[in-house]
Amino acid sequence: MPGWDSGTAAYPMPGPGVPNPTRRPERRGWVTTGVIISVFLISLAMLSVFFGIDIGIGNSLVAAAVSAVPLLVVVPVFLWVDRMEAEPVRYLIFAFLWGALCAAVGAIILNTGIHLIFLAAHTDNADAVTAVVSAPLVEETLKGAAILFIAWRRRREFDGVIDGIVYAGMAGAGFAFSENILYLGRAFAEAGTSGLTEVFFLRCLMGPFAHPLFTACTGIGIGLAATVARSAAARIAYGTAGLVAAMGLHAIWNLSASVGAYLQVYLAFQMPIFAVFLVGLVLLRQREAGLVRRYLSQYADAGWFTRAEVEMLSSMGQRRSARAWARGLGGRAAVRSMRAFQDSASDLALLRARIVRGSAEPGAGAHERDLLDAVTANRGVVVGQVSPRDR
């Protein structure tokens, strides 16, 4: 294949079922899985009942269809950021469903309860106080819980800021989807198509990345806590700082709407922050590619990779070309092995980065060995598709 030389070493030649340790599920108890599914189903039922009572089933279905439109933009952006070291699909789905179901239900219950307390206490502008104080605190904490849970469950593979941002983006996108159903459904019920169009423009076109952006701050904090912090106090500090930043941005967003300055704040504050966020995503992805190149080069010095492999693994374009080449050789099985080879190599590089920084988890040496074994084994599957004269 142009740009990738498998080398001439005598690699192991295992069968096609070589596992990919970056995607292989850890052993889960049926109780844990059952609890998660049950919580999602209960949350879905509660949300359906609430929407049915508040805006009606018909309006909810229309609003849900319209609310799905921004997801066609938001979700692919976060998946694009995640391509160098892709997260398991099951965890991405978990983050989205947590935001759409659990965080949404929790926010409805807690925000409503806090709002009633403010009303009972005769608080001035109780609606605005709830929106500016309660909503950011409650909603960002609930969304951030998904990232924290994943970071704990995947602590061997949670590689830092990009992982935190990707999971935050999925949780934020899920939450925004459910929240948009509520606002769009109410607008449609009260003002018909014109009301639906106005709210769609304000929420889905002007601010599709609002919730993902807020929660991304929490993701950055947890990512830094997982990969940079060397003490429990530092981990708590990073995570707390990210959550506070998320709450702050959320509060400013809600305050601008409450005081009638939404457009001014949107243009002068939110848009510049969003632009910085997008630039930051591009830079983070480039930085991750640089880390892959730097640390895989060290393994290449020890004979684990060829120089051509390092170049292929640190370039998204060459990775795609390598998968296409593998497909031409051995179909889907070869593509799976090539993807597993690439994923394991990326995870290996990022693990080495944590080891060098001194922030690697206990047992990192054993995990490193597992990844090296997986790299070698999956390379062997792909190389096995090539006849000697083609090497």
Exposure string of 339-350, with b = 16+ CB inside 10 Å and e = fewer, is bbbbbbbbbbbb
- pLDDT (tens digit, 9 = 90+) per residue, 360-389? 778 889 999 999 999 999 998 887 765 444
Q: For residue 46, what pLDDT is reported? A: 95
* CB proximity list for 161: less than 8 A, separation 6 or greater: 219, 220, 223, 224, 227, 284
- 342 or 227: which leads in pLDDT: 342
Q: For residue 385, what pLDDT is reported? A: 61
Is the confidence at residue 9, as pLDDT, over 50?
Answer: no
Q: For residue 5, what pLDDT is reported? A: 52
- What is the reported pTM? 0.85
Q: Please compute the mean of the pLDDT values over residues 346-350 and round it to a whole number.
A: 93
8 Å CB contact between 211 and 175 = yes
Q: What is the residue type of 67?
A: S
CA 74 – CA 68 distance, rounded (Å): 10
Q: For residue 28, what pLDDT is reported? A: 52
Q: Please compute the mean of the pLDDT values over residues 70-82 and round it to a whole number.
A: 94
- 381 or 157: which leads in pLDDT: 381
Phi, psi of 206 (to 5 degrees): -80, -30
CA 162 – CA 93 distance, rounded (Å): 17
CA 70 – CA 68 distance, rounded (Å): 6
Question: Counting beta carbons within 10 angstroms of the beta carbon of residue 83, is it exposed (0 to 12), middle (13 to 18) or buried (19 or more)?
Answer: middle
* CB proximity list for 235: less than 8 A, separation 6 or greater: 225, 226, 229
- 332 or 177: which leads in pLDDT: 177
CA 226 – CA 218 distance, rounded (Å): 12
CA 183 – CA 196 distance, rounded (Å): 9
Phi, psi of 137 (to 5 degrees): -65, -50
Confidence of residue 21 (pLDDT cuts 50, 70, 90): low
- pLDDT (tens digit, 9 = 90+) per residue, 142-155? 999 999 999 998 88
Confidence of residue 30 (pLDDT cuts 50, 70, 90): confident
Question: For all residues of the chain together, what is the average pLDDT?
Answer: 89
Exposure string of 196-233, with b = 16+ CB inside 10 Å and e = fewer, is beebbebbbeebbbbbbbbbbbbbbbbbbbbbbbeeee
Is the confidence at residue 265, as pLDDT, over 70?
Answer: yes
